[in-house]
Amino acid sequence: MEPTTVTLITALGSGSGGLIGGILLVLIIGIPAVMRFISWSKEQSTQSNLYSQLAEQVKLQTTELKEQRAEIDKIQQQRNELHEKVAELKTKVEKLEQYEKDVVLLKEKIEEKDKIIAERDSRISNLLRELLTMKDRVHLLEMRLRDDEQKFCVECKFKELK
């Protein structure tokens, strides 16, 4: 208790105030208790209001968390789908790279065959030229032989006559 309250109580208790002094004494002693009760009541009311506000915030945050979880699930599903698509695309890229290697290999083979064909064409052309040259030579030799035979035969006839 406060020192002034104690002094007031002792003064009233020693005096002859009787009934009025007792009532005042009860009021003086009861006022701090009543004030504490009022203070406690206000505190309880404030705590109740704060609890209500906190409960409302928890409800809002719970709703937000549920929405965010739904969004996260949706994003994870999209992420998984994208990973699957990436895996498919990687497979396709690997196949295309293999096709590209095959095409390069086939081009090399075609170039090699083109070289072989060009060499054969060149050999064939040379052989045809040689063949034509030989044919011309054979023709010339045939003509020469015919001429020689005619000469010989003429001489041959001539010798027989002699």
State residue 15 phi and psi, 5-degree precision. -85, 180
Tokens of 1: 């208790």
Q: What is the structure's pLDDT at 2?
A: 62
| Dist CA 11 CA 40 (whole Å) | 30
Which is more confident, 48 or 24? 48
Quick one: pLDDT at residue 9?
Answer: 58
What gap in Å lies between CA 97 and CA 103, rounded to an integer?
Answer: 10
pLDDT at site 35 = 86
In terms of pTM, does the model score above 0.75?
Answer: no
Which residue has tokens 């060009």?
Answer: 118
How big is the CA angle at 123 (ends 121 and 128), to the nearest 5 degrees?
A: 90
8 A C-beta contact, residue 53 and residue 45: no
> pLDDT (tens digit, 9 = 90+) per residue, 3-21?
665 565 565 555 555 677 7
pLDDT over 70, % of the chain? 83
Highest-pLDDT range among 8-17, 22-31, 59-68, 148-157: 59-68
CA distance 46 to 57: 16
What pLDDT sits at residue 24?
A: 75
pLDDT, tens digit, 9 for 90 and up, residues 68-107: 999 999 999 999 999 999 999 999 999 999 999 999 999 9
The pLDDT value given to residue 22: 73
What mean pLDDT, rounded, does the chain reach? Answer: 86
Dihedral angle over CA of 141, 144, 145, 147, nearest 10: 160
